[in-house]
């Protein structure tokens, strides 16, 4: 019997069905699902691992945050335990019966590490078992059959590099998280997390916000004109563009009388708009976040589509299609999807399919569709991601787009104006990729010497804008450029920052006051935790483990020593760091002034973990309001026009957000506006009074 190790249940089922080509029997051993089939006279058993089946943690006596010495924690020996005991027990039971084992987990570091977990259990019961590796980038009949016909060796170094990252991140995360939470007094549900990659990522967001706050706007002026030739109107702008001197701008603006302009020059220029390069993980996430997904949602959906056999493996740095990928065959397969019949037909009609090329990596191929997905079988969001991947694939195979750009110079009483037009002479890839619009600006037929009428002249006062905030897509790009995290973990890191309420906003990421305090305090008393250099250096060390040039345990020990040096500085300044964070947390919690006594209304949390709004004037003022228990609460400057209560903004999961007035009894019923679509648990007045009594007793 041959034992096959698969990473997820859906992959185990698909691999078994593909290899068997006939009947596959599904069975359970407690909660461990496995599949049995025969092929060429051999019996196979495929077991689904459900990801990692063993975890790494500190010994039990380190679980208490209060009273644990952080230096001892940084040096503590780690223990391994079973997270999926039923699967581990099944492997232990079946191992003696197996003649061989084939690791068929995802072909990356994490997949290799998961395979090693299974091998460790099996080899204890069957030390001489034959071990092989099936590597593939898509779960299609061709890819799976090819992989099992060309079995290779397990890459132990690659798996150990993932284990190194796992241990390093656990120790760094535990020590830094406990330090920040303990010195700030933010424990329980409100603990402050921090980690090796979280710190520099949060530092990027805070630094960008500091740039915005420090930015000093400069005024400038623009002169815009609306001309007309015969029946066609067209816009033009003063050739200088921005005027930094108001007097100069006003003097130039006097050119509007008499209202006639003369065309002094007409120039045409052809421009090629290169088609996009194939999707690597960073490119895919940037595109997905641009159409409304969070990075975490997009990655989760892509993983599901891969497991279902619809797209290739979504974690890759490669943006060059391999020569083994038969592009025409993929297009023919996608023609089975009704929505893609026409674009596929147009692509197949081209003289040759010449894909664009980005940066080549020794990795999985770029993300691309591998099979036709029936729309009826996918939920709307999965379908949207699948279409994005398919449309992008089409765009990489299409021709470049071409435009003719027209520049017309007009003299308006000695002042030069320019009108710019653009028409597409070849739509190329733009025809296949609706996410990038083919914008045209049409101008009338203009020739040198033509006289045009001035219909309107505007002097616009403007000012320079600060640099834009990070979006999730641009933050992932910055993390990739700085080697922060991996293609597999970057989306997860950003989700953690949201979960801990360090950041809010989806299209524009806004750091909280606590985020500022955490970054500022760590910068002031150490700096390394929130700067990318240290994290990038550790990533290089883990690459050396993967290459077999360094032992896992050695870099784990080196990282612990480095952490202890950082911790030494932080502990010396724990009082100052704690004060900075507590003051910021208090500022973050203030929603506005109490309508009854004029003191601050703050978000408070009772002993049960329920949050509510209470007045800082308590016990003299007992004004309270209930709150939704989920979502980030953001104050606004508004008050309800009906009852006068404060209006807050609630940011829920994903892109869901709404504004509400704090008074639930408000006649306008604006309270809990839009929240009926997805009800939130909320604290009642009765619960708040109980919490108040508990506070009084405690005092």
Dig out the tokens for 361 from the structure.
């990596």
Q: Which of 647, 641, 643 is nearest to 660 (CA)?
A: 647
Name the residue among 450, 439, 453, 442 with its Cα closest to residue 420: 442
CA-wise closest residue to 361 among 279, 303, 477: 279
Q: Where are the alpha helices (DSSP H) in 368-408?
A: 380-397
DSSP 58-73: --GGG--STT--HHHH
Following DSSP, what letter does each residue of 465-502 receive, concatenated? -PPPPPPHHHHHHHHHHTT-S-TTTHHHHHHHHHHTTS
Question: How many other C-beta atoms lie within 10 A of the C-beta of residue 381?
Answer: 15
Concatenated DSSP letters of 511-575: E-HHHHHHHHHHHHHT-GGGSHHHHHHHHHHHHHHHTTSS-HHHHHHHHHHHHHHHHHHHHHTHH
| Measured distance CA(461)–CA(467) in Å, rounded | 20
Specify the length of the chain in residues.
699
**Cα-to-chain-centroid distance, residue 526:** 28
Centroid of chain to Cα 403: 34
Query: In whole angstroms, what is the distance from residue 137 CA to residue 575 CA?
Result: 51
By C-alpha distance, which of 641, 501, 535, 549 is closest to 190?
501
As a whole number of angstroms, the distance between CA 402 and CA 539 comes to 42
Nearest to 86 by CA among 45, 40, 31: 31
Token representation of residue 509: 């990421």
Tell me whether residue 470 is one of the annotated catalytic residues. Answer: no
Q: Which among 44, 306, 310, 313 is annotated as catalytic?
A: 313
Q: H or E segment at 421?
A: strand 415-426
Under DSSP, the state recorded for 376 is G
Dist. CA 168–CA 560, nearest whole Å: 8
SS3 38: strand
DSSP classification of residue 618: T
Q: Is 615 exposed, middle or buried (0-12, 13-18, 19+ CB in 10 A)?
A: buried
Q: How far apart are CA 281 and CA 363, in angstroms?
A: 11
Give exposure, 56-79, as e/b (b: 16+ Cβ within 10 Å): bebeeebeebeebebeebbebeee
CB atoms within 10 A of CB 458: 11
List the catalytic residues: 313
């Amino acid at each position: 019997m041959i034992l096959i190790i698969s990473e997820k249940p859906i992959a185990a089922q698909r691999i078994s069905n593909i290899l068997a080509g006939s009947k596959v029997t599904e069975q359970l051993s407690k909660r461990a699902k496995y599949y049995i089939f025969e092929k060429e006279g051999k019996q196979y058993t495929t077991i689904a691992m459900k990801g990692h089946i063993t975890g790494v943690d500190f010994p039990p006596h380190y679980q208490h945050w209060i009273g644990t010495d952080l230096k001892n924690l940084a040096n503590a020996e780690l223990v391994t335990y079973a997270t999926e005991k039923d699967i581990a027990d099944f492997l232990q039971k079946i191992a003696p019966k197996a003649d061989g084992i084939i690791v068929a987990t995802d072909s990356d570091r994490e997949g290799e590490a998961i395979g090693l977990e299974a091998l460790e259990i099996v080899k204890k019961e069957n030390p001489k078992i034959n071990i092989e590796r099936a590597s593939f980038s898509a779960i299609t009949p061709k890819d799976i059959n090819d992989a099992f016909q060309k079995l290779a060796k397990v890459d132990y170094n690659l798996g150990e590099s993932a284990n190194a990252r796992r241990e390093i991140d656990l120790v760094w995360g535990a020590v830094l998280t406990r330090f920040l939470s303990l010195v700030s007094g933010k424990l329980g549900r409100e603990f402050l997390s921090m980690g090796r990659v979280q710190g520099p990522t949060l530092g990027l967001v805070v630094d960008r916000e500091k740039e915005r706050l420090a930015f000093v706007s400069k005024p400038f002026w623009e002169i815009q004109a609306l001309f007309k030739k015969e029946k066609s109107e067209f816009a033009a702008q003063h050739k200088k563009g921005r005027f930094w001197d108001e007097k100069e701008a006003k003097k130039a603006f006097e050119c509007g009388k008499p209202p006639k302009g003369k065309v002094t020059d007409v120039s045409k220029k052809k421009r090629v708009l290169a088609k996009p390069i194939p999707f690597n993980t960073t490119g895919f996430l940037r595109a997905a976040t641009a159409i409304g997904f969070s990075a975490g949602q997009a990655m989760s959906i892509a993983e599901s589509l891969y497991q279902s056999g619809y797209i290739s493996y979504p974690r890759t740095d490669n943006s060059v299609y391999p020569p083994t990928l038969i592009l025409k065959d993929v297009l023919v397969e996608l023609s089975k999807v009704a929505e893609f019949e026409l674009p596929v037909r147009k692509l197949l009609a081209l003289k040759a399919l010449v894909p664009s090329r980005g940066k080549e990596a020794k990795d999985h191929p770029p993300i691309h569709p591998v099979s036709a997905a029936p729309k009826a079988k996918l939920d709307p969001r999965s379908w949207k991601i699948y279409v994005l991947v398919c449309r992008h694939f089409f765009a990489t195979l299409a021709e470049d787009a071409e435009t003719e750009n027209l520049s017309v110079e007009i003299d308006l009483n000695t002042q030069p104006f320019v009108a710019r037009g653009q028409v597409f002479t070849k739509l190329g890839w733009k025809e296949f990729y609706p996410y990038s619009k083919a914008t045209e600006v049409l101008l009338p037929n203009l020739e040198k010497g033509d006289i045009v009428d001035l219909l309107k002249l505007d002097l616009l006062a403007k000012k320079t804008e600060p640099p834009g905030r990070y979006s999730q897509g641009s933050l992932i790009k910055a993390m990739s450029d700085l080697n922060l995290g991996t293609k597999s973990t970057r989306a997860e890191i950003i989700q953690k920052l949201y979960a801990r309420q360090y950041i809010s906003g989806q299209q524009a990421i806004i750091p909280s006051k606590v985020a500022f305090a955490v970054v500022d305090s760590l910068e002031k008393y150490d700096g390394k935790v929130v700067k990318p250099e240290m994290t990038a250096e550790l990533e290089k060390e883990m690459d050396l483990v993967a290459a077999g040039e360094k032992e896992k345990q050695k870099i784990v020990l080196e990282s612990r020593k480095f952490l202890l040096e950082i911790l030494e500085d932080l502990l010396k300044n724990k009082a100052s760091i704690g004060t900075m964070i507590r003051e910021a947390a208090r500022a973050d919690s203030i929603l506005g002034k109490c309508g009854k006594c004029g003191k601050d209304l703050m978000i408070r949390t009772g002993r049960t973990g329920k949050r509510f709004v209470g007045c800082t004037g308590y016990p003299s003022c007992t004004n309270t309001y209930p709150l939704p228990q989920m979502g980030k609460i953001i104050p606004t400057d508004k008050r309800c026009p009906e009852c006068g209560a404060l209006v807050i903004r609630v940011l829920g999961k994903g892109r869901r957000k709404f504004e509400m007035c704090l008074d639930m009894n408000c006649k306008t019923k604006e309270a809990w506006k839009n929240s009926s679509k997805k009800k939130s648990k909320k604290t009642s007045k009765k619960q708040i009074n109980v919490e108040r009594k508990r506070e009084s007793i405690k005092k």
